[in-house]
Amino acid sequence: MNGPSVLVAAIASATLLAATANAAEQRVGAHGLALPATFTGILPCADCPGIRHQLDLWPTGGYALRLDHIDRDTMIDALGRWHVDPARNALVLTGAGPSEWQILGNGHLRLLDREGQPIVSELPYELEPGPLAPFDLALPMTGEFVYFADAALFTECLTGERFPVLMEGDYLAAERAYLESRPAPAAPLLVRIDGRIAEAEQMEGPPRRSVTVERLHHVTPDGACDTRRAPAELVNTYWRIREIDDADPPSDGLRREPYLLLHDADGPRFAATAGCNTLIGGFERDGDTLSFGAAASTLMACPPGLAEFEAALGAALGAIAGFDSDGHVLRLRDGEGRVRTRLEAVHTPHH
């Protein structure tokens, strides 16, 4: 398959991914939150009865936030990206002004002050989690527009979320601008729009979240969404486990995202899981040498396959003697220089 056939397949695949993302099942990340999820609550307000919050978090690192001031005609919607600071167990929202939330053990979020410190108060500052129940948004957006084979997709830059584009509103202006300014057939074009995101019927398949172009502002032919992540440090980063001795994590039975976290708040310690039990112990580092001490473990029964992967993780960590990293991928090596574990940085900030 080549040429237009490849492009048609790419559009179809991207459309399927957009539909799948809207109906994604919750999974528990390394940070302890079951995502995707909607967090809700009414927080204190200085000059109104309260501010109703709705925060939608997607596992891919994007969020939508609505602030509704009760008894006032003030409602603010925002899109952005989130990351996690493991050292403080804090969820950090960036976009329309950063805000920080402490991740509590019960899965709730509690607002932190502007310095990222706990708010000492008996007033309610918590958001309660629930299944994802996204709200409709209407606001200016920047994203990458692609049109090919009578289908259009829009990837919103702040969240990284991808949506089908409905052929209504100012859609024809966007399509014409794309055909005139695209760098190559089926290549993305950066556009600025007034848009609406809401669930809508589709030509094929079930209803799903889609973008309506209310107004096209302009296009930037040589522009693109900035998807770069800041390089991650070895310590205080969630490293997702991708391989142990060239074996991938099992696809079934995972209770949590497989990860390794090294932290030094109370001395050099590590926590790791293959997706079932949690291993906790100490580590030593000197330059690019690294070793892990004996680990204690929780004692939950793990499904077949996952139990073997967990045993492989413990054996691999016990053999580690060094590492190398480019700030995005981490490779842990044994004393003979063989890569025993490959990991990637997740839940880290973007540039």
Total number of domains constituting the chain: 3
Structural tokens at position 114: 């502007």
Q: Is residue 42 part of a domain?
A: yes
Distance (Å, whole) CA 253 – CA 110:
30
Q: Is residue 149 part of a domain?
A: yes
Whether residues 31 and 113 share a domain: the answer is yes
- Look up the domain containing 196 and give its range: 4-23+136-220
Q: Please, are residues 211 and 196 in contact by the beta-carbon 8 Å criterion?
A: yes
Whether residues 256 and 184 share a domain: the answer is no
Q: Is residue 319 part of a domain?
A: yes
pLDDT of residue 255: 80
Q: Is residue 211 part of a domain?
A: yes
Distance (Å, whole) CA 125 – CA 324:
41
Beta strands of 208-288 (E only): which ranges? 208-220, 238-244, 259-263, 269-273, 278-286
Q: Is residue 102 part of a domain?
A: yes
Q: Could you say which of 191, 220, 249 is where a domain stops?
A: 220
Whether residues 174 and 244 share a domain: the answer is no
Whether residues 126 and 153 share a domain: the answer is no
pLDDT of residue 96: 67
Q: Is residue 155 part of a domain?
A: yes
pLDDT of residue 68: 94
Q: Is residue 152 part of a domain?
A: yes
CATH number for the domain harbouring residue 177: 2.40.50.540
Whether residues 113 and 185 share a domain: the answer is no
Whether residues 297 and 159 share a domain: the answer is no
Whether residues 42 and 72 share a domain: the answer is yes
pLDDT tens for the chain, 351 residues long, are 444 443 444 444 444 444 444 445 788 999 999 999 999 999 999 888 999 999 999 998 999 999 999 988 888 999 999 999 999 999 999 986 669 999 999 999 999 999 999 999 999 999 999 999 999 999 999 999 999 888 999 999 999 999 999 999 999 999 999 999 998 989 999 999 999 999 998 888 899 999 999 999 999 999 999 988 899 999 999 999 999 999 999 987 778 899 999 998 888 999 999 999 999 999 999 999 999 999 999 999 998 889 999 999 999 999 999 999 999 999 999 999 999 999 999 999 987
Q: Is residue 351 part of a domain?
A: no
pTM: 0.87
